[in-house]
Each structure stands twice: as structure tokens, then as C-alpha cells.
């Protein structure tokens, strides 16, 4: 028998405790590097998530002409090229597994006369790009994709861009951001209509960089207006802890006996706190401590402890504020009293994996009772008793699936083994050591 670092096991654990900090928020990290690369001057970024997805963005911005350095103290400095100052890259830009990175970068170059070819790994190459190619074409960009609207994707930026008025057909921060970033180098006013709220990190950070951007709330939704061809000014960005990463140690504390865990300096943007709201409704002992503002974002400590959960209905309207947290929520629901119904989950079908299908199959393999439809999931909980566990789960190239089912193993009767655990590095390098430091039994599994 030997161990494989890409195959991890989560084993029954007790008494998790400690104060920890999770890696920087991935959404904020991507945008900080991208806007710094467009700004005039040197943008200093502290707390940047140094995971595979964000490093791909760093490499992409360097290929487009920005000068980027990491200093010994962990601070990153980005010297920008100015709005419309991209150079044509010499090679294909590979975004690995990062859907956020490639979709936002397509917006960045759509209104600059350069030709860029984007590629990705096997998982990203199955994800749809049509949701951004259609609005970006309105600016005058020429965009070609592989059959089925997937990567590789060639973007030929417009040399005479036109401003765009665009209504989001579905709540998608990636689509909204791609349109706004394209609008930075388009003359006149680019307008995005958002019928349903989704993450607003791009708007907040654009303001920090001095963009001419405003918003208006109407009966039909939020209207965002951006005046293009105005230079951005470099600034200092503090990246708070990623709430999607914080969800895993917090969930483990809720499930494991006699446990209390605090995660420090977590991003608490209202468009990202759907899981905390949901856990409150389920009866979890979870609290926000010492909230403050920094760089236009709300930051605070989040503490969770062992809790008895009850099943609830999570409305579709909440999905945009917690879309990445549904796998770990489903794991929590599997230990609750009663049935938890999650609605509005169509977006999960086109994540790193078909998260709805993969989550349901993995839960069933661990002994949970679960039903799904096209855009919903119902999980009937164990009533607080440990699930059987004992399954071997394929992560399907999905970091959040991997972490969610390692957490499930901590509260199961038998260990849960996860294959493909190397994908965890795309968002949460150091996950295993952090969880071990809290008392969790997660380690490479023995394989023949």
C-alpha cells in the first residue's frame, strides 16, 4: 500500500477549534490584477489569492503587456498599460480551469484592436462561452469559438468600438463584468441592466480605480452606467478572505462535535453572504464579529460552532449570492432534521463540473437521501446522526466538490475518499494543512 497526494480521505473527527485566515477572495483577486493592469501607475495588492486560477490571470495580464512583480512580503505590484493599451500576445493565453478569468479577459480585449486566442483545461473547455460572445460582439469584436460555443476562443478586438446597452438575460456577474470591462475602452456610455442582483465586485473596484460609473435602482432592476475611454488610476487593494473558501472550515465546525472555529477577515459583501443567511435560517450557531469597511467592501470575522440544523427551502432569488456554496450546503443539509429544498440551481450545471448532478450522486454514495430536477435539489437530512460515508468520490475536476466531500467525511461513520483532490489548489492552496491545524483528520489516502 502507498499514498497518493491527489487522493485524499476525510476521516471522522471531533473537536475542531481555532482561529484561521483563508486565502484571499478569488473574485476580488482576479479583478484587482485586471484593473491594475489597465490603470496608470503602480497598483499594490495585499492578500492576493496565490492559487492556480489567479496566477493564470497574472500570466495573462503580463502577456498583454502589464509588468507584474511579487515582493518578498507577499505584496503584488502591477504596472498598468492604460485603457486601450494592450499589446497583442505572442502565444495562446491558457486560463487553465478559470472560467472567471477567461470570460473577464475576453471583455478586457474586446474593444482594443488586438487578436487574442484563449484556451483552457479539459474542464474549462466544456464550459459555455456564448453568454459573453453575444454581448461582446455588440461592441464590434469578432469572436470565434470551437463548435458548441466553447474554448478555444479567438477574440479580435474592435478598432472602432461602439458603446452598448445590454440587459442581462440571467444573473451573471461574469457576463456583467465582461460587458463593463469592454465598455472601458468604448466611447460614450455603456449601460448594463441587471434585473436580478448578482455580485458587484467589478463595480465597487471600478470606483476605487476612478472609473466614471454610476448605478440607479428602478422597479425593473439595477441600471449601471459607465462612461468609457477614461483612464484608471492605480490604487492600493486589500483582498479580504474568500467567503466561498471560509465555508469549508465553518461547515466542518457546524458538523463535528464540540467544535468552534473562527475565520478572520472574511469578505462580507451583501452579494456573497447567501450561505450565512441560509445557515441562520437553518438554526446554525454562526456569527459575524467586528465588521468594518475596506476598499469599498465589508470585511469581518465569522465564527461557527457545533449546531443542530433544520431543513428549509432556499429560494431561487438567493442563488446568485451563494452559487459556489451549494455543494457544501447540500452536505450540511444531509445532516439536518427534515428536508432542505434548493431552487434556482441551473447555473450549477455549467460550473467546473455539472455540480448539481455530481453533488447529488456523491451524497447518495455517502448514504444521503437526495432528489434533483433540472434546476433544484432536495436533501432529506439524517436528523443529526452521522451519515454512513465510506464512499470514493470523483471530484470531476471540481475543487469545491473535492473540499465539500472531505468535510462530509469528517462527520461520517466511515472515511470519505476523494479522487482528483489536486484541483483544490485552484482556489484554496493550503486547505489540507489549515483543516489539519483545526483538528480535522484529512490526509492522503492509502491506495494499492
Range 26-238 has CATH code 3.30.70.260: no
Q: Which of these, 359, 439, 369, 446, lies nearest to 403 by C-alpha position?
A: 359
What number is the average pLDDT over the span 18-22?
Answer: 98
pLDDT of residue 4: 82
Give the DSSP letter string of 381-412: --TTSPP-B--EEE-TT-HHHHHHHHHHHHTS
pLDDT tier at 3 (50, 70, 90 boundaries)? Answer: confident
Question: Catalytic residue at 324?
Answer: yes
All cell numbers assigned to 91: 502565444
Topology agreement, domain 2-24+240-447 and domain 26-238: yes
Segment 390-403 mean pLDDT: 96
Predicted model pTM = 0.87
Q: What are the percentages of helix, strand and coil residues in the chain, rounded to 5?
A: 35, 30, 35
Among all chains, which residue has been given the C-alpha cell 427551502? 313
Catalytic hit among 25, 324, 375, 394: 324
Q: What is the pLDDT of residues 27-53, one digit of tens each?
A: 999 999 999 999 999 999 999 999 999
Q: Is 70 exceeded by the pLDDT of residue 448? A: no
The CATH number given to 2-24+240-447 is: 3.65.10.10
Residue 295 has pLDDT above 80, yes or no: no
Burial label for 419, CB within 10 Å (0-12, 13-18, 19+), is middle
Identify whether the C-beta of residue 104 lies closer than 8 Å to the C-beta of residue 30.
Answer: yes
pLDDT at 447 over 80: no
Sheet containing 2-11: order of strands: 392-394, 416-419, 2-11, 441-447
Q: In what order do the strands lie in the sheet with 339-343?
A: 313-314, 339-343, 376-380, 369-372
Mean pLDDT of 66-79: 98
C-alpha grid cell, residue 298: 465589508
Mean pLDDT for the stretch of residues 284-289: 98
The percentage of the chain sitting over the pLDDT mark of 70, rounded to a whole number, equals 99
Mean pLDDT, range 151-159, rounded to an integer: 98
Rounded Cα distance, 422 and 426, in Å:
8
- The structural domains of the chain, with segments of one domain joined by +, span 2-24+240-447, 26-238
Condensed to tens digits (0 to 9), the pLDDT of residues 345-381 reads 998 988 887 999 999 999 999 999 999 999 999 999 9
In the predicted structure, residue 1 carries a pLDDT above the cut 80: no
Rounded to whole angstroms, how far apart are CA atoms 136 and 175?
9
Give pLDDT, residue 217.
93
Helices (H), 44-162: 52-63, 99-109, 130-137
User: What is the overall mean pLDDT for the chain?
Assistant: 96
pLDDT band with cut points at 50, 70 and 90 for residue 2: low
| pLDDT at residue 233 tops 80 | yes
C-alpha 268/C-alpha 25 separation (Å) is 11
Cell of 7: 487522493
Q: Average of pLDDT values for 80-84? A: 98
Amino acid at each position: 500500500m502507498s499514498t497518493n497526494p491527489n487522493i485524499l480521505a476525510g476521516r471522522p473527527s471531533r473537536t475542531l477549534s481555532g482561529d484561521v485566515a483563508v486565502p484571499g477572495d478569488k473574485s476580488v483577486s482576479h479583478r484587482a490584477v485586471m484593473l491594475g493592469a489597465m490603470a496608470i501607475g503602480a497598483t499594490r495588492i495585499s492578500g492576493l489569492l496565490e492559487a492556480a486560477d489567479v496566477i493564470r490571470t497574472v500570466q495573462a495580464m503580463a502577456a498583454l503587456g502589464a509588468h507584474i512583480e511579487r515582493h518578498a512580503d507577499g505584496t503584488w505590484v502591477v504596472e498598468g498599460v492604460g485603457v486601450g493599451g494592450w499589446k497583442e500576445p505572442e502565444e495562446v493565453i491558457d486560463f487553465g480551469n478559470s472560467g472567471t478569468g477567461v470570460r473577464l479577459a475576453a471583455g478586457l480585449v474586446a474593444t482594443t484592436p488586438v487578436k487574442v486566442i484563449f484556451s483552457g483545461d479539459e474542464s474549462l473547455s466544456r464550459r459555455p462561452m456564448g453568454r459573453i460572445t453575444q454581448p461582446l460582439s455588440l461592441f464590434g469584436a469578432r469572436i470565434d469559438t470551437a463548435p458548441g460555443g466553447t474554448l478555444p476562443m479567438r477574440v479580435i478586438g474592435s478598432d472602432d468600438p461602439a458603446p452598448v446597452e445590454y440587459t442581462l438575460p440571467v444573473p451573471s456577474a461574469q457576463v456583467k463584468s465582461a460587458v463593463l470591462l469592454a465598455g472601458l475602452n468604448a466611447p460614450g456610455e455603456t449601460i448594463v441592466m441587471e434585473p436580478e442582483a448578482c455580485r458587484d465586485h467589478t463595480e465597487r473596484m471600478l470606483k476605487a480605480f476612478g472609473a466614471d460609473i454610476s448605478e440607479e435602482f428602478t422597479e425593473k432592476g439595477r441600471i449601471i452606467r459607465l462612461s468609457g475611454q477614461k483612464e484608471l488610476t492605480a490604487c492600493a487593494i486589500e483582498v479580504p478572505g474568500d467567503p466561498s473558501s471560509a465555508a469549508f472550515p465553518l461547515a466542518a465546525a457546524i458538523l463535528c462535535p464540540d467544535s468552534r472555529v473562527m475565520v478572520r477577515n472574511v469578505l462580507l459583501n451583501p452579494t456573497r453572504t447567501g450561505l450565512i443567511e441560509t445557515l441562520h435560517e437553518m438554526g446554525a450557531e454562526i456569527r459575524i464579529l467586528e465588521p468594518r469597511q475596506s476598499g469599498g467592501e465589508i470585511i469581518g470575522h465569522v465564527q461557527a460552532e457545533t449546531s443542530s440544523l433544520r431543513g428549509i427551502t432556499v429560494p431561487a432569488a438567493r442563488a446568485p449570492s451563494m452559487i459556489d456554496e451549494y455543494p457544501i450546503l447540500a452536505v450540511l443539509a444531509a445532516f439536518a432534521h427534515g428536508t432542505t429544498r434548493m431552487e434556482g440551481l441551473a447555473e450549477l450545471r455549467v460550473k467546473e463540473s455539472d455540480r448539481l448532478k455530481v453533488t447529488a450522486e456523491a451524497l447518495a454514495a455517502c448514504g444521503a437521501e437526495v432528489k434533483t430536477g433540472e434546476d433544484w435539489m432536495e436533501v432529506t437530512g439524517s436528523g443529526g446522526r452521522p451519515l454512513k460515508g465510506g464512499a470514493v468520490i470523483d471530484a470531476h475536476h471540481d475543487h469545491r466538490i473535492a473540499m465539500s466531500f472531505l468535510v462530509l467525511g469528517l462527520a461520517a461513520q466511515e472515511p470519505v475518499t476523494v479522487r482528483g483532490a489536486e484541483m483544490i489548489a485552484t482556489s484554496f492552496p493550503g486547505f489540507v494543512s489549515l483543516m489539519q491545524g483545526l483538528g480535522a483528520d484529512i490526509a492522503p489516502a492509502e491506495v494499492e
